[in-house]
Amino acid sequence: MARKALKNKAALPPKFSTRGYNRCPICGRMHGYMRDFDMCRCCFRNLAREGKIPGIVKSSW
């Protein structure tokens, strides 16, 4: 879990555009972020497994 200070810092506009980074709005994680779903891989996996993301199904063969 990210600290509140880091979440607030990520919400501010950066001084230079290359310093900006994305954070997961659910847990605050910044690594493993997927832009298509606006969340990190950990939260994506949990929500997909529960069936809360439409169109995503667990593959099996």
Render pLDDT for 5-21 as a digit per residue (tens, 0 to 9): 887 887 888 899 898 88
Tens of pLDDT along the chain (61 residues)? Answer: 667 888 788 788 889 989 888 889 898 888 999 999 999 999 999 999 999 999 988 777 7
Indicate the annotated binding residues: 24, 27, 40, 43
Average pLDDT of the chain to the nearest whole number: 88
Domain regions of the chain by residue span: 1-6+27-52
Indicate the annotated binding residues for Zn(2+): 24, 27, 40, 43
Quick one: pLDDT at residue 52?
93
Cα–Cα distances (Å) from 37 to 32, 34, 46, 53, in that order, read: 12, 6, 13, 9
